Amino acid sequence: DTAVSQTPKYLVTQMGNDKSIKCEQNLGHDTMYWYKQDSKKFLKIMFSYNNKELIINETVPNRFSPKSPDKAHLNLHINSLELGDSAVYFCASSHLRDTGGYTFGSGTRLTVV
């Protein structure tokens, strides 16, 4: 019973393509997040949704569009992929302002060629 599951785990695609990464959590959390981990392992928040509403939208190109159909799902759609989008993308969930920390998915390694 995976708590936060992301699909796919690996994604290789050509420049200019559009791709989506899906995320689902079964923990009953009300907040979900997308993080990007670059080649130097730095983790940076991209988006955060609380009860399907966007509450954090960091400086991210508008080619990235999150969508939250319900509290348990947060998908990430990326248009016109560029080489610099290659990274590992992590989904996470928590209760808002939870002291217990976040639960992370296993990550999606995106490679743009």
Positions that interact with other proteins (CB under 8 A):
31, 33, 40-45, 48, 50, 55-56, 88, 90, 92, 96-97, 99-104, 106-107, 109
CB nearer other proteins, residue 27 or residue 96: 96
Closer CB to other proteins, residue 12 or residue 43? 43
Q: How far is the CB of 109 from other proteins (least distance, A)?
A: 8
Q: Which two tokens stand for residue 17?
A: 């393509």
Output the smallest distance, CB 10 to other proteins, in A: 11
Per the CB < 8 A criterion, the answer to whether 21 and 6 are in contact is: yes
Instruction: Give the nearest distance from C-beta 30 to other proteins in angstroms.
Output: 12
Nearest Cα neighbor of 70 from 28, 102, 107 is 28
